Amino acid sequence: MAETIQLEVTRYSPEHDAAPAFQRFEVPYRKDWVVLDALNYIKDKLDGSLSYRWSCRMGICGSCGMMVNGEPRLTCATFLSPYTPDAVRVEPLRYFPVVRDLVIEMTDFMVKLQRVKPWIIRKEEKSIADGEYLQTPQQLDVYKQFSMCINCMLCYAACPVYGLDPLFTGPAAIALAQRYNIDSRDQGAKERLDILSQHEGIWACTFVGECTEVCPKHVDPAGAIQQYKLTAAKEWFKSLLMPWGAK
């Protein structure tokens, strides 16, 4: 059993470097250590200047997404054991600008998330005194999967469309829009459709499907987008055939 394992980590400081480069570290190998534990060891004991994001260590906050051997992964949920004795290559999340070492710039996602109006839109709000909106477990089931998104952006790192065209709204943002569209309490589907049926919205997606493969929470954003396309197409036909029925 190996005592140590090598980690090859991207280093980049915009103040000193022109481009990112790799640095090798040797860390102890433990069977139940994940890549994040190895990074923490490096920061605590070997080189405190290694910068990366992490928080909950249990795959729910979405901070620690990085490329591990070329695949977008949550480093808190990626054991070292499958990689040993080879070195593990850790790079910042693909298709995002690199700020420093393993830290990427994610305001693009934050802007797009806000743009799709991810909140309940209603013509008339119910008052608190009238109690809850009734929603059966079946109605909850319809959108539940899409509500599990932890905003880790691994799907963006897996999406070649986003890589080639950074204006694309992207899997997570569209999946969250769809989550609200099909929530029985929401009445804002038309508003979101107007925003997302533009070229950089749902129609830029070519159903590569990698976003769903890498999603750690099984949200299936690809499915959400295709379903949204079907709905959008239906709405378009309806508006064509029944223009008087505009909502």
| Member of 43, 84, 187, 197 binding other proteins (CB under 8 A) | 43
| Interaction of residue 163 with other proteins, rule CB under 8 A | yes
Whether the bond into 97 is cis, omega within 30 of 0: no
| Interaction of residue 123 with other proteins, rule CB under 8 A | no
| Interaction of residue 232 with other proteins, rule CB under 8 A | no
Number of residues that bind other proteins (CB under 8 A): 94
Binding positions for other proteins, 130-149, rule CB under 8 A: 131-144, 147-149
Binding positions for other proteins, 204-223, rule CB under 8 A: 206-210, 212-213, 220, 222-223
Distance CA 214, CA 175 (A): 14
| Interaction of residue 118 with other proteins, rule CB under 8 A | yes
Distance CA 63, CA 72 (A): 13
Distance CA 45, CA 226 (A): 47
Distance CA 148, CA 178 (A): 12
Distance CA 174, CA 131 (A): 30
Least distance CB 96 / other proteins (angstroms): 8
Which range of residues in 82-90, 96-104, 191-199, 234-242 is near other proteins by CB under 8 A? Answer: 96-104
| Interaction of residue 44 with other proteins, rule CB under 8 A | yes
Binding positions for other proteins, 1-30, rule CB under 8 A: 12-16, 19-20
The secondary structure of residue 138, as a DSSP letter, is: H
Least distance CB 156 / other proteins (angstroms): 11
The secondary structure of residue 117, as a DSSP letter, is: -
- Closer residue to other proteins (CB): 88 or 94: 94
Least distance CB 109 / other proteins (angstroms): 10
| Interaction of residue 164 with other proteins, rule CB under 8 A | yes
Least distance CB 244 / other proteins (angstroms): 28
Instruction: Name the residue among 84, 89, 224 with its Cα closest to residue 149.
Output: 224
Burial 115-141 (b: 16+ CB within 10 A, else e): ebbbeebeeeeeeeeeeeeeeeeeeee
Least distance CB 21 / other proteins (angstroms): 11
The two beta strands, 103-104 and 88-91, are: unpaired
